[in-house]
Amino acid sequence: MWRIGHGFDAHRLTEGRKLILGGVEIPFSLGLLGHSDADVLVHAVCDAVLGAIGAGDIGRHFPDSDPAYKGISSLKLLDEVMALVLERGYALANLDATIIAQRPRLSPFIGQMVVNLSHVCRTDVGRVNVKATTTEQLGFEGRGEGISAQAVVLLTSIEIDAELPF
């Protein structure tokens, strides 16, 4: 059995916040605004995974009205989401994600994001891909007002996964 899921998220850039993407703190003058650490990439991945198992979305599982999640590392939320996946007998086949940001330049940090995501997803780095793109100054990302991210994930039931060649 295979299950596919898609996730999208966007957060506003603001002063006085750290910029955390894929669990990596990126040196920049602005950071993303949110109740948690506002890691937009990890939020999109959480929504993709929750979508794949038909379990709603991140807001339903981790409401931003709950003080327990204030300032929390979003990797911890993804860890809980992946625990649900395993509970249901699934494993991650592969994950592909795109960060949409005009600034800063993200390529030096992509490798560590992949390591962080693969670790929390209980898989190896060969099954996780992260890309970054600008929008040629178009839209809110292009004007530097915010950063968005999209993710697609494929899950397999654990019996099928054991037979996969990759």
Query: Which C-beta is closer to Mg ion: that of 60 or that of 163?
Result: 60
Query: Which C-beta is closer to Mg ion: that of 79 or that of 161?
Result: 79
Query: How is residue 31 written in tokens?
Result: 């950071």
Cα distances from 68 to residues 49, 137, 162, in angstroms, run 22, 37, 36
The footprint of Mg ion (CB under 5 A) covers: 9, 43
Judge contact between 114 and 125, C-beta under 8 A. yes
Q: How far is the CB of 101 from Mg ion (least distance, A)?
A: 14
Written as one letter, the residue type at 116 is N
Query: Which C-beta is closer to Mg ion: that of 9 or that of 141?
Result: 9
Return the residue nearest Mg ion (CB atom): 43
Query: Which C-beta is closer to Mg ion: that of 57 or that of 161?
Result: 57
Q: How far is the CB of 7 from Mg ion (least distance, A)?
A: 10
Other Cβ atoms closer than 10 A to 14: 14
CA atoms within 13 A on the CB side of 10: 11
Q: How far is the CB of 139 from Mg ion (least distance, A)?
A: 18
Q: How far is the CB of 114 from Mg ion (least distance, A)?
A: 20
